[in-house]
Every structure is written in C-alpha cells, then in structure tokens.
Structure 1
Amino acid sequence: MITIITFGTFDLFHYGHLRILERASDLGDKLIVGVSSDMLNFAKKGRRPICNEHERMKIISALKCVNEVFLEESLELKEEYIKKYRADILVMGDDWKGKFDCFNKICDIVYLERTPSISTTEIIEMIKT
C-alpha cells in the first residue's frame, strides 16, 4: 500500500484544491491530508481563514479521494507527521518546489503543478472589488 500525504489550508474550497487532491490520490492507495490550523494559517499568511479549521476539515474529509484528515498545527512538525502517518510520498503544489526536498530521506517528494488562474487569495480579492 502506498500512502500519500499532503498539506494545505483549503480555505474557500475551489476547483484547484479538488484537482491537486485528486491528482495526489492517483499516486497511491491512501491519501492523508493535513489541514492547517487557524493559528498556523494566521502565522503563515497574516490573516485568519474565512472558513474555520473544523469547517475546512469537514469539507476535505467529505471528498471521496481523501482517506484521512488531521489538523496541521505547525510547519516544523512536517517530518513528524510524515513519519506518524507512514507516508511514502509527500505531495505539494509546485509553488513550494524544492522547499521540502529535505524530507526525501524519509519519503519521495512530488510537486504537482497548480491549476492556473485560481487561488483563494485571488477569489478573496475578486470579492473585495
């Protein structure tokens, strides 16, 4: 069994989120998703997510391509999460290309191309204007 792990905020769930999770799932037998906590999101992006962590986890866990969801509370714990869930492959969007290569000693790293012309930040900006 090949276990895939990925991480994200998944705020204002959109088609790009769905595509990366479906493509990640296609790489193995089990997809585990770490959803960034509200506090972690604020530390990363300087803003709170529109949907809270419980709502975002519920949305992600409802997807048929996702087998398990957990709350990611710290970027510094990625290695521990990879080991805890016995992930064979870490999948991230290509906007993170090279940033997680340090984990290739414990799992394979795959950077998937992001869906063009869609992001939560862009959606929020469109709503504001």
Structure 2
Amino acid sequence: MVVYTVGTFDLLHVGHLALLKYCATLGDSVAVGVASDEVVKLYKPNIPVIPIEQRMEMLQALCCVDIVLPYHELDYLTVCKQVKADIFVIGEDWGKKPHNQDVENYFNTAGKKVVQIKYSPRNSSTKIKQDVIAQLQVADAMR
C-alpha cells in the first residue's frame, strides 16, 4: 500500500520526522508531496527559507521516505492518483476547502482512507523562524 502525505517541509524538524515515520507504519511505501513556493504563498504569509530542491533532497535522504514529488498547484488529488495512493495522511487542520474535499470524496468513493493526525504546535517551522528572529533581536539589543 502506498501512503501519501504533503507539506512544505521547510526547516525539517522532529514533527516532520514523526509524521513521516508514522506514515511508514501504515503501508509499504511513503510518497511525499512538497509544496512549491507558489503553492506556499496561497496559504502562508512567507515563502520557505529552504529552496524546494533542497527540501526534497533532505526528505529523499530519509529511510522512511520512498518517493518525493513537488507540487506546483493546490491540487492534492492529481498526485494521489499519480502515485496510486491508498492512504492519504494529513494534519487535523485539514479543513473543508474544495481541494481537500476533492481528495476526501475520491478516497471515500474508491474505498481508500484519509488519516488525520494531531498537530503539535511545538513542532513548527514557523515557530522555529520566530525563535531565531527573537534571538537575533536580543543579540542586536545587547550590542
């Protein structure tokens, strides 16, 4: 069975590793979709710090990941079909946006599964970036 998940994966951290390891327990292979900068701009205020090629390279180096693909549109269904995903893993903040509903409808109709996992705010690239900025501001103030 193929397990598919998506994300930005900027500043790879233990939350990402936990997600990917969990995906590996659900099937035979793990496919990961990595959001391009254009896609990230659609739902986050800032683009990633790490270029997409490097984010993909880091993910591919992980033993729990078998396939890494970029996606350039906010359309998860196309890649789900491309990798022949049996299970789609997504965070609990998934929501009911049209592109999300398309995936859920497809998986439900095809007898496949969408698995939502609990989001942990302590493991966030955004939080890491905020902490770095705060440290830089403290350092600047001390000069």
Q: TM-score, normalization: structure 2?
A: 0.82
What is the percent sequence identity of the aligned residues? 35
How many Å apart are 1:72 and its aligned residue? 1.1
**Structure 2 CA distance, aligned partners of 1:96 and 1:27?**
19
1:63 is paired with a residue whose SS is coil
Q: How far does the alpha carbon of each residue in 1:20-77 deviate from its partner, in whole angstroms, 9 at most, with x for none?
A: 010011100010000001211122213110101001000110000000000011113x
CA RMSD across the alignment: 1.5
Q: Which runs of 5+ in 1 are unaligned?
A: none
Matched, 1:45 2:44: yes
The answer to whether the 8 A contact 1:42-1:48 is kept is: yes
The answer to whether the 8 A contact 1:19-1:115 is kept is: no
Q: Count residues with an aligned counterpart.
A: 127
**Larger Rg computed on CA atoms:** 2
Q: TM-score, normalization: structure 1?
A: 0.90
Q: Which runs of 5+ in 2 are unaligned?
A: 135-143
2:93 is paired with a residue whose SS is helix
Relative distance call for 1:97 and 1:46 in structure 2 (3 A) is closer
Relative distance call for 1:98 and 1:20 in structure 2 (3 A) is farther
Matched, 1:117 2:122: yes
Q: Letter of the aligned partner of 1:11 in structure 2?
A: D
2:55 aligned residue: 56
Q: How far does the alpha carbon of each residue in 1:80-121 deviate from its partner, in whole angstroms, 9 at most, with x for none?
A: 111111100000112215664333224310011234522111
